Structure 1
Amino acid sequence: MTDTNVAQLPARGPLSTDVVRATAEQHGVCVRPFTMEVTDPETGAVKYIGVPCGSTVESVCLPCARKARALRMVQCREGWHLTEEPSTAAAKPTDDQRALVELRADLVAAYRDAMGADADDLREEIRSVDAELHQLGVRGRLPNPDGAAKRAPVRSTRRRQDAPNLPRRRVEKHTLGREFAGRFRPSMFVTLTCDTYGPVRSDGSPVDPGLYNYRRAARDAVHFASLVDRWWQNLRRVVGWDVQYFATVEPQRRAAPHLHTAIRGSIPHEVIRQVTAATYLQVWWPPHDEMVYGDGLVPVWDGERFVDPATRAPLTAWADAVDQVDEPAHVATFGTQVHSKGILGGSEEAGRHIGYLTKYLTKSTGEVISANTSSQRDHHDRLHAELLVTPCSPRCAVWLLYGIQPVGATSRTTPGHCKGRAHRRTTLGLPGRRVLVSRKWSGKTLLQHKADRAAFVTETLAAVGIVKPVRDTSALVWRKLAPGDRNAPPRDHLVMRAIAERVTWRAEYERALLAAQGPPGATADVSATRQLAA
């Protein structure tokens, strides 16, 4: 067959799965839902429902990621230029929350009487319960199942001699900024960066890799979130009121993290620069400059603790190692580049900056810091190599390479291998939380913002006589099916059912919008309504 004949052959049609995925993305339907088996205990009826995956990464699920970004944009917009103090009253504990706390108490009691592998399993169950409690909205840390933690040694609170002094005021409880001319209440947009580690090229790679301070770059990345928390603390003490923020963490071209943040209220640019220059974080951790173990020689577990493989002497416990610290193992600071700008609420400029704040939230960290040149790849490889031997927390298994037993070490702990995000090649030390939001930003959680949007749509439909029946589902039994379960219907079936429901819902909503516009010639503007329900 000649090349001409091959070129004349018709192209192969797309796979049905690809068509279903493209249609789902067009209608904003999750392309990879997980299956829930729902049983009615009264009738015994069983049905299968596809629940959206909730991914925030476009390459995983485009519709879910776009919905998550839209919700963050609403959260940012509602809290940035508030004119009244947000309500922050704490809700009363629910029956589910109390039941989980009772279960946790039983697990802790059993854990203290258990030994070996049974204790490890119970510790994992306790962590699972803690995660579920946090998902149900419980804030704060629960007591350590191992008992009261050893009190950390007292450190001097005197400011470092090489850091500028900062004025300190009593922080008032209000969160709103000043109002100017009786009607203007501007806010701020601020960008903070890490310090320099050596000259870099336009692609972010070092001019001289041998002189680039990779150790400091790795440690600054690991402790960046704590440094940002210290910056907020200093800023509030200087301005004298409870500053609120919506911030996102992104990597620069050199792979160092930097912060974009919306701040409610107006703060002088000079004050922001002054606070940034004077903010530092002292990391009172044991020294970790030179490894004690490596090249195949690592500590071993003797049944109760980690010991030296040759002498069988137990390693120094984390708390004891901290007691011996006389000076900080690392001091993190911000760079000199600080960008601050005043923003008026409701302006086009505010909308652009909200889009800029949430620009990369639908991208995985690996997609944002991708390397396109050999020098970038070499730079990322060297930074990753340093992060592999940089402890990320008191529980990090990397501490074992420095002769220190980390907090919570068990027989399952592998020396030098930590699953924390800081050690991954795809993250290069960036914090796990990409979005940082203060508690009094909008006075609502993400779930409450989502409920507001659902309630708005329901009211819009009810206004034209479309009322959806509300069924009590509290008695239903829900069970998540594992992948490969024989009872699970094909995923494409669940997706197509969701597409049909979405098409019906969209038609009803469009009809409600047309009714809201009124008769021809009416000037009702429904663009904001469309955007809110998107």
Structure 2
Amino acid sequence: SHCPACARRKRSLRRSQCEEGWHLADEPVTTPDEPTEVQRAWVEQRAIVTAERDHLAATGTAGPEELAALDAVIADLDEEICASGLRGSVDRGSSASTRPRRSRSTKRRSDAPDLPKRPMTRRTVGRAFEDPATGKVFRPSLFVTLTLDSYGRVKADGTPVDPAAYDYRRAARDALHFSKLVDRFVQNLRRVAGFDVQYFATVEPQRRLAPHLHMATRGTIPRSELRQIAAATYHQVWWPNADEIVYEGGNLPVWDEAAGAYFDPATGEVLPTWDEALDALDEDPDAEPHHVCRFGPQVDAKGVLAGSPDADRCVRYLAKYLTKDIAECHAAETAAQERHVDRLVEALRFEPCSPRCANWLRYGVQPAEAKAGLRPGFCRSKAHRREHLGYAGRRVLVSRKWSGKTLADHKADRLAWVLEQLGVTPGEEHDDQEDGAQRPAFPFAVTGNGHAWEVARPTDPDVPPREHRLLRAVGEALKRRTQLDHARQTSLSATEEAA
């Protein structure tokens, strides 16, 4: 809706990523590149400064100001390491943090069926089947659709038959925690399948506005086991109780700047902090989770063969809504649908979306990392926004070994293909400008012949008006498209003549 051209390009890129990894016959290569000398130098410097800082802190020979200065140096080094191209975080946690990690029993719920478990094998490619009559080898994969449970009967347009009986609170909580439920499903799927199942999944809303999952998986497992996995998958949210309203309207907790905490406006007592609320939850043997998220009984699984029309159709379906907001996928066309959206947004307004959500004040708990100015019902997280309808996670979920490439690698492949079709070498220059000035053949080409390029500013005297620049950009894009179409037609004609 903001830039259709960018939307088409990104959707096409995701389709290429999905197609390339779905029916791989060989294990993808995921060996990382060797570090450069610059990267090694930054990491070594970071190690030296970290060792010195830890030694001074352990021996007590440095004051707070010296340690703070070293922490600032370490932060600068981390920025340089990231800028050098290394992915990930050098230090995932604060060196001064000694807070133990909370853990809960992994015992399965009594109302969830058990799952079979197979020994894991180090492979990501599914089984191949050979036709004894023809000798042809088939390597099928799956296209799976998972939906959430029912919240009440709905009509064909997705609106509830009885809005008063429709469980909007559970619908809101399921949407908020849907991404965690998907993670649990993938874990269970790999345990049952016995190999490292790879997937390309997209999250879309149903007409009733509940999120559901379309997932392309490499390899197959029996459909009966797939339904068993979905039925046995759940996610428990161990948060404080948020069913009873403690403060609302004008009776809201007040921020104390001196204490750095919120207190009760009537009694003056400080509200329990987030950690204190979790401690009380841990100590209660009869405590129940804040919410339990599950899939519904509707599980659709379809076998797909490489190169078949079904495979292309499924890929298009996976990328159908990727460039739309959740609320744009099924836009409200009637007054009943608009009211359905309004009721769901209202249920999401006061539902806590994270430990730092301001809505916790409504239920008598200070949010994590509390600060002044928090008001229930005015959390800035995009989960509460109308265009997201509770789901604030990524719309595309791709496993690490899907194609053995990152999205940047797929972009580079597409660029290399275009340049090859046009017979253009990166860094090549030509002087087709009216003024005779040389420039790279494409805006993304790199030159190393001593020229320096910088972004022109609108106030520069030699910069033409915006209208002229737009017309020039459109003209250049049309010219490149014509050149590419001509190159593809020439290549196709040569192939047909050779055949």
- Corresponding residue for residue 176 of structure 1: 125
1:471 alignment partner, one of 432, 444, 447 = 447
TM-score by length of 1: 0.75
- Corresponding residue for residue 222 of structure 1: 176
- Structure 1 CA distance for aligned equivalents of residues 497 and 337 of structure 2: 57
Contact 2:255 2:262 in 1 (8 A): yes
2:30 alignment partner, one of 88, 94, 102 = 88
Question: Does residue 266 of structure 2 align to residue 310 of structure 1?
Answer: yes
Contact 1:399 1:416 in 2 (8 A): no
Q: What amino acid sits opposite 1:338 in the alignment?
A: V
Q: What is the Cα deviation at residue 445 of structure 1?
A: 0.9
- Corresponding residue for residue 437 of structure 2: none
- Corresponding residue for residue 278 of structure 1: 232
Q: What is the Cα deviation at residue 454 of structure 1?
A: 0.7
- Structure 1 CA distance for aligned equivalents of residues 186 and 84 of structure 2: 25
Distance 1:61 1:186, change over 3 A: same
Distance 1:255 1:521, change over 3 A: closer
- Corresponding residue for residue 21 of structure 2: 79
- Structure 2 CA distance for aligned equivalents of residues 221 and 141 of structure 1: 33
Question: Does residue 312 of structure 2 align to residue 334 of structure 1?
Answer: no
1:499 alignment partner, one of 474, 492, 497 = 474
- Structure 2 CA distance for aligned equivalents of residues 409 and 265 of structure 1: 47
Contact 2:39 2:84 in 1 (8 A): no
Question: Does residue 205 of structure 2 align to residue 205 of structure 1?
Answer: no
Distance 1:211 1:429, change over 3 A: same
Deviations 1:332-365 (A, max 9, x none): 1000000000000111110011001101112222
- Corresponding residue for residue 167 of structure 1: 116
Deviations 1:398-426 (A, max 9, x none): 11222222222223544442221211122
Contact 2:427 2:448 in 1 (8 A): no
Distance 1:428 1:466, change over 3 A: closer
- Structure 1 CA distance for aligned equivalents of residues 273 and 426 of structure 2: 68
Question: Could you say what secondary structure the match of 1:356 adopts?
Answer: helix
Question: Could you say what secondary structure the match of 1:340 adopts?
Answer: strand
- Structure 1 CA distance for aligned equivalents of residues 453 and 22 of structure 2: 41
Deviations 1:290-318 (A, max 9, x none): 12221022223222222223333322111
Q: What amino acid sits opposite 2:104 in the alignment?
A: R
Q: What is the Cα deviation at residue 486 of structure 1?
A: 5.0
Which range is displaced more, 453-462 or 325-334? 453-462
- Structure 1 CA distance for aligned equivalents of residues 466 and 301 of structure 2: 48
Q: What is the Cα deviation at residue 431 of structure 1?
A: 3.2
Equivalences for 1:227-246 in 2 at 5 Å?
227-246=181-200
Distance 1:515 1:255, change over 3 A: closer
Question: Does residue 410 of structure 2 align to residue 449 of structure 1?
Answer: yes
Contiguous gaps of at least 5 residues in structure 2: 55-62, 131-135, 282-286, 430-439, 441-445
Question: Does residue 39 of structure 2 align to residue 61 of structure 1?
Answer: no
- Structure 1 CA distance for aligned equivalents of residues 450 and 86 of structure 2: 19
Contact 2:179 2:393 in 1 (8 A): no
- Structure 1 CA distance for aligned equivalents of residues 250 and 450 of structure 2: 55
Alignment RMSD (CA, Å): 3.6
Which range is displaced more, 464-473 or 404-413? 464-473
Question: Could you say what secondary structure the match of 1:235 adopts?
Answer: helix
Question: Does residue 370 of structure 2 align to residue 409 of structure 1?
Answer: yes
Q: What is the Cα deviation at residue 135 of structure 1?
A: 12
Deviations 1:456-485 (A, max 9, x none): 12222238999556404999686797xxx7
Greater length-normalized contact order (CA 8 Å, ≥ 6 residues apart) = 1
- Corresponding residue for residue 532 of structure 1: none
Contiguous gaps of at least 5 residues in structure 1: 1-58, 525-534
Distance 1:288 1:357, change over 3 A: same
Equivalences for 1:227-376 in 2 at 5 Å?
227-303=181-257, 304-325=260-281, 326-376=287-337
- Corresponding residue for residue 60 of structure 2: none
Q: What is the Cα deviation at residue 499 of structure 1?
A: 1.8
Q: What amino acid sits opposite 2:245 in the alignment?
A: M
Contact 2:360 2:367 in 1 (8 A): yes
- Structure 2 CA distance for aligned equivalents of residues 92 and 418 of structure 1: 44
Distance 1:390 1:346, change over 3 A: same
Q: What amino acid sits opposite 1:310 in the alignment?
A: A
TM-score by length of 2: 0.80
- Structure 1 CA distance for aligned equivalents of residues 41 and 268 of structure 2: 45
Distance 1:515 1:210, change over 3 A: closer
- Structure 2 CA distance for aligned equivalents of residues 474 and 378 of structure 1: 63
Distance 1:512 1:426, change over 3 A: closer
Contact 2:427 2:447 in 1 (8 A): no
- Structure 1 CA distance for aligned equivalents of residues 84 and 333 of structure 2: 38
- Structure 2 CA distance for aligned equivalents of residues 391 and 478 of structure 1: 46
Contact 1:250 1:259 in 2 (8 A): yes
Q: What amino acid sits opposite 1:66 in the alignment?
A: R
Q: What is the Cα deviation at residue 504 of structure 1?
A: 3.1
Which range is displaced more, 231-240 or 144-153? 144-153
